[in-house]
Amino acid sequence: MKDMNEAKFVALIDTYGSDLGRWPTEYAAIGRAFLAANARMQRHLDEAVALDRLLAEYDTATVASRALRQRILDAVATPADWLTRFVDWLGSGPRGLRPAALAAIPLAIGIALGAAIPATSDDALGGDVTLLAFDALEVYTDAE
């Protein structure tokens, strides 16, 4: 960093602020020397001082209005209403849409579960599920 130029000096101001005393030691000494040799750089430093003053005066605790804070708290406190909106959407559509969408819900759940359950290498789980399905089929057909 011994080869200081205007771009590097401005980058250091942007990174560490206008107070050269808060810069890392090796940069501060070079920055002071560069500032002394280049009067044009004082303008950049003055702008940074003005920005630092504005930032110091800015009170982040009072920025959000009470209404905004309440909206955020209400949004967090409200349970997820995606299901309510979904049901409302079903009711606002064509009459045939509601039964079709309701019938598709178990299909979507089954696809999601099928994708989430990892396949086993020996397929033991698949065999058990198949046996359970055939047992249920036998029970159903015996009941008729």
d(CA 70, CA 11): 40
d(CA 37, CA 35): 5
Name the pTM for this structure: 0.40
Per-residue pLDDT at 115 exceeds 50: yes
pLDDT average, residue stretch 50-60: 81
pLDDT band at 5 (very low <50, low <70, confident <90, very high): confident
Euclidean distance between the first and final Cα of the chain, in Å? 89
Kindly list the domain boundaries of the chain, sorted by start residue. 6-61, 82-143
The amino acid present at 124, given as its one-letter code, is A
